[in-house]
Structure 1
Amino acid sequence: MLSFLKRYNFYLILILTLISKCSFAQTIFVNPPANSNSNLLPSQLVKEILLEGGECSGISNFQLKDNTSAPFPNPTRSWGYFERGNSDFPFEKGIVLTSGFAIDAIGPSEQETLSKGNRTWLGDADAEALAGVITYNSTVFEFDFVPQGNTISFNYIFASEEYPEWACSQYNDVFGFIISGPGIVNDPGLSGKNIALLPNGNPVTINNVNDQECGDDTYYVGGDFQDIGYDGRTTPLTAFAEVIPGQTYHIRLLVSDSGDERYDSAVFLEAGSFNLGLNIVDEQGIDVGENKYICGVDSYTLYIDSDNPSLQLQWYKDGNSIPGANSNLLTVSESGFYSINAISETCSQEDGVTVLFDAFEINAGEDFSLCSGEAWINLEYDILGEMTFQWQLNGEIITEATSDSLLISQHGTYVVTAYSSLGCIGTDSVMVSEGNGFVISNIEVGVDYIMIRASGGEEPYQYSIDGSTWQSDNYFYDLPSGDYTAYARSADGCIASKSFSVFNIPTLFTPNGDGINDTWRIKGVENYPNSQISIFDRHGRNVYESHLNSNEIWNGFFKNGKKAPTQDYWYILKIANDRTYSGTITVKSRSEKGM
């Protein structure tokens, strides 16, 4: 009876947790009961979601490593199906692998600390080779596949509860995509080659991607989040590998806790992004995309990215088969929609492209009024090889303007001409008239948001922080630290702008002398010399203050030279442009994680 009551209470708490999480309309959903994809086995998820059918993939020999205490269909299993819902998460749907409970990926991130699993849930040898330390709580999807093209790729996002406090520490939770097979050279210590890499070739890890002193914040997005439960994540990234079509390869998709079993991490894999070929490409093997503009020549050759001799090929123009067009290349001389149908022993695949001869156009946008500040003119166009641009204002060449966007502060007629290395030329113009009475009156910078207030002109207003993408909501959330320009646009087309800055203020540092996260730093403060910091202990005593000329705010010592003991402190940060931030900073001298 007691065992029954314990189990009943566990599932009651779980149900209440799910109801609480799912009540947030702006979050993703994980294994939603009403969606049949939530009931798919792992191998089915890979074929039906990651490959969206994957008829030509030859998926086989699927193996799963996960939490043996919560196997499928346990609602607390470590993997599952997710969908965006009404949130702003970059991927519409896909698969999530975690080192905790998959349902904990549901937002918002400030609800609880995600730290599930214990040391009976083991790690993984590849994960330990990547992390350099012992690992726990590994979830691994691995399987064989047969690519149809010369390359494979898929899109992913890494997220973790280790962010931001445990970045730059030994708790470097790890994930990897390990591929092996013909032509693949294994990385040292791994069962294959890790293709979870940044564009610069470095592996994607917590210590490589963060906004602390040890990492690169180019690919980092910090919380709090409404859409996911983790405190930090990467931008969408792409894994890529060159392969031999028709050969069998093996891949391991894995995520693990490193150093201990606490603070969970996850990898989100975008649905349909596991591309095994077949694609129409150019002579260099680059995907031609949906539209291909051809200028200055009479003909152009299309290729497919496969050398598989077992494929039966047929090219089409505007839906009609082209007699005799059965090879892996096609030379065309007329505009139209060209497609390829590739048939193997068990399935068929198609790809297509619209080819346009001498039809290059650019779009500089509609005419508008400039009321105050500055505004951007941004071109819309298809990239055609190497592009160069020339801008004119009222017939005079703007010599310093050579890019595809122009920041303006003067009224007049702007003309832009785009030149392509393929011989294409496009021209457009925008008239910017003088407006008045419409201004940005204030920009409120909060902890995780900024709010733009505008006045004058004709309502309703629209707002932007890049001068290109506009929205009716005057709130913007979770902006990375940096300098920005806010834009507002009235209904009668008048644009106003105003500059502001966002600081991502860390909430913890560890001045224990280990050389990792020993000082409290706030990126961007160095741009506002003579800013001032004041630190207070829990009794309200002023224990430290300084004028700032770098991004180092505090080294963890009081103004009397004594080391600050482990506890929370209040701070008041006065920025030189009359903005004030206040909050708490945790000083933690111990190197171990708390329970």
Structure 2
Amino acid sequence: MKIKSLLFLLAFFCFFQKAKAQYIKVDDTFSTQYLVEKVLVNSSCAQVSDFKETGDTFTAGKKSLGFFDFNGTSFPFKQGIFLSTWSSNNTPGPYDNQRGGGSRNWSGDPDLDAALGILSINATVIEFDFVPLTDYVSFNYFFASNEYQSYFPCEFSDGFAFLIKEKGSTTPYKNLAVLPGTTTPVSSKVVHPLINPVNTNNGVQPGCPAINENFFNGYNTSNSPINYAGQTKVFTAETKVTAGKTYHIKLVVADDREEVFDSAVFIEAGSFSSKIDLGTDRLVVTNNPVCFGEQLLLNTNLPATNSYEWFRNGIKINGANQPTYQVTSAGTYRVDVAFSPTCIISEEIKIEYTPDLILNNSTLVQCDIDADGLTSYDLSTIDANLKSNDANITKTTWHDNLIDAQNSTNGIANLTSFSNTSPNQILYVRASSKYGCYKIATVTLSTATTVVPSPNPIAICDEDAIQDGLHPFNLATLVTPQLLNGLPTGLVAEYYLSFADALAEKNKIGPVFTNTQAFQQTIYARIKNGLDCYGITPVTLVVNTFDPVNFEDETLFLCAGSSVSLSVNSGFSSYLWNTGATTASITVQQVGTYTVTITNDKGCKKIKTFIVKTSEKAIYENAVVKDFAGNKNTITINYKGKGDYEFSLDGTNYQDNPVFTNVAPGSYTISIRDKNGCGITTSDFIYVLDYPRFFTPNGDGYNDTWKINNLSSLPQSRIVIFDRYGKLLKELTSASDSWNGTFTGTPLPSNDYWFQLIFADGKIIKGHFSLKR
């Protein structure tokens, strides 16, 4: 019970959804004459006759063509006629992806085969005769097909054609169902999006790239108004004809080889009629507006026997009653042509004009060194001035004569170096816009013979560290004011390395320029009046060097309580010290930085700096002696002072280090000398003590006793001597005492003996020596 209820609800829902959806309505009961006269043409201006049709005769009570109504859907046409390759009742939606089919006995159409090169089957045809009243006919249509699925558009397409030819003519039909601007017939093979590879029972079909995708209107779904897989966008079939002649029209659609996967053509009601062709709209957006100042002739190409009325923006133009009308201003123009009281055909066209191109006649003045009226011009310099920055001008060309300019032929190739062939020669400039519009202006090539006097040489001093005669010149401040002094206001100066560059305005230099030729160089100034040359004159640049000898910066020292003289060479034009002094030398008594600026006879300056530092004689404090080390004794000098000092133990040999090493025993006088000349400080005697390492008491008068020399420098000290067993042998208590190698008057044997030097502060130095006999 529950399953049955569910199936009932599902069936009810599907029925409701189908009833709710909207699809076109079709009616195949109308005659061919009715479909042509009342639907396709539907105008009192039409002259149609001799109506015929062929199509589906294999579906009982049904045809394969008929009338359609959009039935409130989004269908492109509200009403019209259709021709299909299957029964008419299959055409309305929804799209259900039927395989379709007709009959193998339902034949094709030989005219369609000839027009498209196919082998057709299941053809549906409407034919009639037509007498046009004008020279132009058209109608609107689109093509729908079930071939728009799977990989089919890559290989298959049903065929259709709208064929026309003069009645009774033996010439082939002309097919009007072609892509715009081509002779390519419209089909699903030439209008489709990208087709991806497809898996089929016969293997993978590779698909194909998109072609004319902009004409494809999309695939359909189950809610589509018609039962076809996809369709093209709306096309207009159109052609020129001769008014009054009889033409035969044949509308035909058919399957190609196979009767399955059917197609249809939908033609808009009322769209087939004689029309007046005034041409395409002339609009800016479509890049074909009418050029400013031009006239456009609108021509109906109809005889004057008809009645004509012309309108601009919906307002009738008085006196405009001919087959043609000359347009001179923008607007929407319409013509109503009355062929009879009941037959009036109208056509309109939209006209827009381009803005006027701004191009000024001009004169270009160039300097002429020999005043013969012939010189070289850079025509490109005036190009922007001619156009006044008009953004509508996209191209300019220069020509020797007006005819070449009008025809855009024989343009001047080299604009940057053009030599005139006659004084005051006139050139013609053609300016074009992107719309193909143009305007011509003249440029007169004139010459200036103004003589601008050269200024006096412009001299500066080489202020660089390297006096090489090369230095920057600020031409704008050093040269230009002198050049323009006394000349008319509004002139400007530009500078070049050569006269040729100045004439051609090539390789401009400055405004800051460093000469490339040392010491002296000539450059050329071009005086300009706007874009014109006022005159060209040479300018001499001079670089003076100034490199006095012995002018390096110095550092001097001022001894405490004294003064120091600062001086430079004499013979210069002027001196200026930072103290305010103006002499070649000064005497100072304070430390600090002193500068002197000297100036030579050319006005070049040089600055020397003196740094005066303090210095003084050293103050000796003491010396620290480390002795009793043989020749490895040291003396360290302690001192105070702000000078730069060196030290000596003999008053002759000096060293920078106050520590003396490897000092031999003896007495010394310390000297401290200021390197900056502020004096020498000396000390009292100092002594470096040591003891003999052996003595020989053999009575020969040489080295017979043992003692420590200079012990007198250490008062209140004593020496005690021991044998190797620690027995006290001798005590020396004065500097004059010595030991003769005896104990209680008895000579001691050769041996090593030990001593202790005991200072007053309790410090003890121990050592040993040898007695040799």
| TM bucket normalised to smaller | 0.3 to 0.5
- TM-score (normalised: structure 2): 0.38
* Greater gyration radius: 2
